[in-house]
Structure 1
C-alpha cells in the first residue's frame, strides 16, 4: 500500500491546494464585483466553487484574507513586476512599462478588482495605498538611476507623472462592466500617454 509522506491526513496535495486557492480567489472576485465585498458571504464563495466552508477556511482565514490575495494578484503591486527588468534607455523603459501594466490590468481578474475597489469605496484602503506607494517608490528609483534633465522634475515627480494617468485610465475604463470600446479607450490613452512621456524624457 502506498502512502504520501509529509502531508497531514485530509489535506490536499500542494498542486491541488494551489488550484483550490486560485479557484476561491477567482470565485470571490466574481461575487465581489457583482454584489460588493459586504454583500458577499464566505458561504457564497465556497458554494460558487462547489466546496464547503470548512475547505475554504483550510486555505484562507476569512474574507479579508481572500481580498488581500486578490489584491496581490491584480492590484497596483503588479506595476512593480513591470519594473523588474529595466532597459537602459529611458524612453524604451517607459513604453515597455506602460505596455506590461496595461496587459496586467486588462484581464477579467484585474477588471473585477477595479470594480470591487470602486463599488465598495475601497479607493482609500490601506492595502491599495501601500501598493501604489510601493510602485511609485520603485519607479522613482528607476528614474533616479538615469542622468535626466533636472528641469523635468525630481525622480518622485516623474514616477507620479508616469503612473497617475495610467491608474486613472484603469479606474475609468478597465472595470468589470467595461465595454470593448471602453477598454480600447484605455489602451489608446495609456499607449499615447507613454509615447508622449517617453518623447519628453529624451528631448
Structure 2
C-alpha cells in the first residue's frame, strides 16, 4: 500500500503535501467517483490535471497508489491542511479557523473528499481501513483539543468535548451531500455561519425553561381520566 513520505516526526514532507499532489488526488477522486476505478486510466488523470503522464508518474508509480492515497491519504492531507491554518489567538477563534479551513479543503478538493468518503467504509482492504480510522481519530482529537482549550479559557461552558466535536464535524462532513457549488454561499461562508450558530446559539433573550418530554404525557393521561 502506498505511504506518504514522512519526516522522522511523522509529518509529511513539503513536496508530498504540495498543491500538485492535492490537485492529482482531487482530479483522480472526481474520475474514480464518476467513472469508477476500472474505468479510470492514468492517461485520464493526467489529462484532467493538464499535465504529462511522465509528470504524473513522477508523483505516483501507478493508479493503485493514487487510489490508495485518495482512499487513505486524504485524511492526512486534510489534517495537515487544517493544522497549518490555525492561527495564534483566542481558542474559540481557533475552532472557527478549524471549521473554515476544513470547508476550504472541501471546496478546493471536493472530489477527493467525496471519493475518500465513499471509500471510507466500502474499501475491503482492512489495513487501509484501520489506517483511515487512525488518521480520522487524529483529526478529531485535534479538534477536541481546541474545544478543551476554549473550555479551560472560560470562552465556552463545560460541555462534553467528544459530543461537541462530533456536532462540529457532522455539520461539515455531510456538506458534500447537499452543497451546490452554483449557489452563492461558499463552503467557507457556510462554515462561518455554522460557527456563529454553534457558539452564539439559536435563542434570543433570556433562557426559557422548556417543557420536558414527560410533561405532555402526564397532561394526556389526566385528560383521558377526566372524560
**TM-score, normalized by length of structure 1?**
0.62
Q: Give the number of the structure whose residues are more often helix, by fraction.
A: 1
For residue 40 of structure 2, what is the aligned residue in structure 1? 40
Change (3 A) 1:67 1:130: farther
Q: Tell whether 2:153 aligns with 1:170.
A: no
Match of 1:94 in 2: 95
Q: CA-to-partner distance for each residue in 1:142-163, whole Å, 9 max, x for gaps?
A: 223342566521x222221211
Alignment of structure 1 residues 17-166 onto 2, 5 Å: 25=25, 28-42=28-42, 44-45=44-45, 49-51=51-53, 59-70=59-70, 75=75, 77-79=77-79, 81-83=81-83, 85=86, 87-107=88-108, 110-117=109-116, 121-124=118-121, 125=123, 126=129, 128-146=132-150, 147=152, 151-153=158-160, 155-166=161-172
The aligned counterpart of 2:195 is 194
Paired residues, what number? 173
- The gaps in structure 1 that reach 5 residues or longer are 1-14
- Find the counterpart in structure 2 of residue 3 from structure 1: none
Asked if the contact 1:80/1:138 (under 8 Å) is kept, the reply is no
SS in 2 for 1:164: helix
Structure 1 contact 77–135 (Cα < 8 Å) conserved: no
SS at match of 1:180: coil
- Cross-structure match for 2:12: none
- Give the Cα separation in 2 of the matches to 1:73 and 1:89: 30
When residues 19 and 83 of structure 1 are mapped into structure 2, their CA distance, relative to the original with a 3 A threshold, is closer
Shift of the alpha carbon at 1:194?
A: 1.0
Task: Note if contact 1:32-1:40 (Cα within 8 Å) is conserved in structure 2.
Answer: yes
Contact 1:90 1:198 in 2 (8 A): no
The structure with more radius of gyration: 2
Separation in 1, partners of 2:87, 2:20 = 34
CA apart distance, 1:106: 0.7
Q: Tell me how far apart the structure 2 counterparts of residues 180 and 66 of structure 1 sit (CA, whole Å).
A: 28
Cα displacement (A) at 1:83: 4.1
